Amino acid sequence: MGYNKVLVTGADGFIGSHLVEALVAEGYDVRAFVFYNSFNSWGWLDTFDKSILDNIEIFVGDIRDPNGVRQAVKGVNQVYHLAALIAIPFSYHSPDSYVDTNIKGTLNVLQACRDAETDRLLVTSTSEVYGTAKYVPIDENHPYQGQSPYSATKIGADRLAESFYRSFNLPVTIVRPFNTYGPRQSARAVIPTIITQLLAGYTEIKLGTVTPTRDFNYVKDTVAGFMSIAHSEKTIGEEINIATQSEISIGNLAQEIIRQINPQARIVCDEQRLRPEKSEVDRLLGSNEKIKKLTNWVPKYDFTSGIAETIQFFKDNITRYKADIYNV
């Protein structure tokens, strides 16, 4: 099956912008769905060279609007659905917006792809649907735990995607990246939080709890995972982790970044950054057996080299970030 025209929702965001870049580099005809706003901002796509932007069709809309989504899907072979609200702390005080964007938005994409008879749809999940590990490594059969409103809406979106595969034979795959980091990530995520504070000259780095562990994917590995899943017919109807199958605690992660930027700095606990106790996910360590079995994907970046590339990006773009406030 020849795939040439692809749609990426959430193309203006962190992972979406990297995916757009990689697809253009592979010669795909990319339509980038970006969030309508009065500033006419295309998010991270605004930072692209004109040579890349000239090869992208920008579609401005709102994932919560079924009519716009239907328009966006027209004439497309393949859809990568990444548009979502993802900040966990923000989901504590604005859960309605998460239901509208993550559940209703995904339903709009599923309906549009069903109507358009799209060849392939990849719906983006998150390792947060598993909650704290009941066993490790976490494979795709691990139970779900809605430990935050964010996580609950992603579980809902995933199950809707499954229902469209089972009910209407929609060729959908649920792609479940574990924690992704790298250039362009929002400052509310832990790695940019640490890097921006260090680059701003702070010697006391404010963090929430430092004991939880995470399985970190460098963004270029995550994007390669998406593309290899889309290239394999064997992945249709499946839920697939993208994980390195190794874990690092937030404390050790911070120490590695401190080592690379300013070894004199130290970590202090900031109460407002702590999550409610039953909401904090203490351990995430993903199994990547399934993705390796069904595709040719293997992670190419180790943590030290991924962090080095990330630090360099933040050095070059520090003015875009607000290091002195807690970003929710």
Residue 2: pLDDT band with limits 50, 70, 90: very low
Structure tokens at 79: 């859809």
pLDDT at 328: 61
Residues 10 and 31 grouped into a single domain: yes
Residue 255 inside a domain? The answer is: yes
| DSSP structure string for 261-293 | H-TT-EEEE-GGGPPPGGG---B--B--HHHHH
pTM: 0.95
Per-residue pLDDT for 146 more than 70? yes
Q: What is the residue range of 36's domain?
A: 5-181+218-242
Residues 102 and 62 grouped into a single domain: yes
Structure tokens at 34: 């970006």
pLDDT at 1: 39
Residue 326 inside a domain? The answer is: no
How far is residue 203's CA from residue 201's CA, in Å, rounded to a whole number?
Answer: 6
Residues 141 and 201 grouped into a single domain: no
Residues 135 and 233 grouped into a single domain: yes
Per-residue pLDDT for 163 more than 50? yes
Residues 209 and 222 grouped into a single domain: no
Residue 295 inside a domain? The answer is: no
pLDDT at 187: 87
Number of domains in the chain: 2
Residue 297 inside a domain? The answer is: no
Q: What's the rounded mean pLDDT across residues 213-230?
A: 97
Which CATH number covers residue 82? 3.40.50.720
How far is residue 98's CA from residue 87's CA, in Å, rounded to a whole number?
Answer: 10
Q: What's the rounded mean pLDDT across residues 179-207?
A: 94
pLDDT at 276: 86
Residue 325 inside a domain? The answer is: no
Structure tokens at 232: 């394999």
pLDDT digits (tens, 9 = 90+) for 243-291: 999 999 999 999 999 999 999 999 998 888 788 888 788 999 999 999 9
Residues 140 and 157 grouped into a single domain: yes
Residue 205 inside a domain? The answer is: yes
How far is residue 190's CA from residue 204's CA, in Å, rounded to a whole number?
Answer: 15
Residues 278 and 312 grouped into a single domain: yes
Residues 176 and 254 grouped into a single domain: no
Alpha-carbon torsion, ordered 254, 255, 256, 258, to 10 deg: 90
How far is residue 173's CA from residue 161's CA, in Å, rounded to a whole number?
Answer: 8
Residue 291 inside a domain? The answer is: no
Look up residue 118 and give its DSSP letter: -
Residues 233 and 314 grouped into a single domain: no
Which CATH number covers residue 270? 3.90.25.10
Residues 50 and 97 grouped into a single domain: yes
Residue 313 inside a domain? The answer is: yes
pLDDT at 277: 82
How far is residue 120's CA from residue 13's CA, in Å, rounded to a whole number?
Answer: 21
CB-count burial class (<10 Å; 0-12, 13-18, 19+) for 157: buried
Residues 225 and 250 grouped into a single domain: no
Residues 237 and 251 grouped into a single domain: no
Report which secondary-structure segment, H or E, holds 111: helix 105-116
| 89 Cβ contact partners less than 8 Å away, ≥ 6 residues apart | 188, 275, 328
How far is residue 242's CA from residue 92's CA, in Å, rounded to a whole number?
Answer: 26
pLDDT at 273: 79
